A and B are shown apart, each in its own frame.
Chain A
Amino acid sequence: MSASHPDYRLSQLDQLEAESIHVFREVAAEFEKPVLMFSGGKDSIVMLRLAEKAFFPAKIPFPVLQVDTGYDFPEVLECRDEWVARLGLRLVVASVEEAIASGVVVDDGRTTRNRMQIGTLLHAIEEEGFTAAFGGGRRDEEKARAKERVYSHRDEFGQWDPKNQRPELWSLYNGRIHSGEHMRIFPLSNWTELDIWHYIDREQIFIPSIYFSHQRRVFERDGMLLTESEHNPLRAGETAEERTVRFRTVGDLTLTGCVESTASTTTEIIDEIAVARLTERGATRGDDRFSEAAMEDRKKEGYF
């Protein structure tokens, strides 16, 4: 036994990293046309970092796909562009507004942009002929996700069948699909929110500034703090005021709430999360609040 690793133990972050890198390489080797779904949020940035490591010194051998709701935070789009430029990647943007304009999805005035992403995404996957799409979903986020496989099969309608999933044993992933089907791949399945932050901290990973404490004009709706914006007009009785906040997740800005926080470094965020008493989705995501099975239903339809 060598002196440097007297007991050959890996830290939990090193082990998670090694397992995720294994998944990236497996997919690149077995799928004809993979794509990485990149929102510009922290989880998809960690995915990109792991992909960078998996193929280094070669470039990441697949493009990235972003679903642009038209309601994205500008800081997130800036961060996205910087990552894409640094790694020299091809960026495919699937725009919800274009999808509405061309009739791919219908804006009936009641459906949220978040929900309209599903049709937009499936259309882009079909148009480009992607056979595998990496997503940043984690099993600790929500209990329907707790049962999802790392390789999650989608039929030709892009649907997930939770009752009929393929068994997934050891690290032997089964990537067989038929023409027209695709696989969603979740390399971060076993990471928790804290693992993500510890990794961002350790690797000094560049993420959008809105994850850190800043001043912002916000208003309260349904117990959430939402950002003041032209896309999100104030309703009767609502007033906006400036507060010191940060975001725990980033999505459609009309639905993504922030939390009051003075945490301005990754270390301070880790301390804050360690004592947090609400899940990141429960605290800040209007889209998960509608019912007990909100996530399961959206996932079946083809959500990330």
Chain B
Amino acid sequence: MKKIILSLIVLFLLSNNLVAADGNVVVIANNSVSVSSINSATLKLIFLGKKNSWSDGSKIVPVTLKSGNTHEAFLGAYVQKSSSQFSSFWKQAIFTGEGTPPRSFKSAAELVAFVKNTSGAVGYVPAGTSTTGVKKLKVE
């Protein structure tokens, strides 16, 4: 019984990384970003506005998709929130003056174009999206 409970706890703790592991989401960044990999805890802090600078001190500019499966998968896997919870989090920030939400895009192509042209930008797109001109970050 103890083993079953322990297994369930481990499975639960890992469950939020299952989406990341299946490779449906690709994290991309502007070529100016000096890192080539990023961990999921750092991604969470970035998209919740708690980490604003890359390790070299340059400004982080997070961007998101407006909606869709990739948006839900990314938030669930790395930010540990549903899209509604993510939206509520940023509504609170807006109406307390504590921050403005990441800029969002209707399509992956628009997001890629913005990341390509914006120093320090980081975002995500569905696997298979053309990512010419941006770098893919490996998520650890």
Partners in one complex: no
Interface residues of B (CB under 8 A from A): none
Interface residues of A (CB under 8 A from B): none
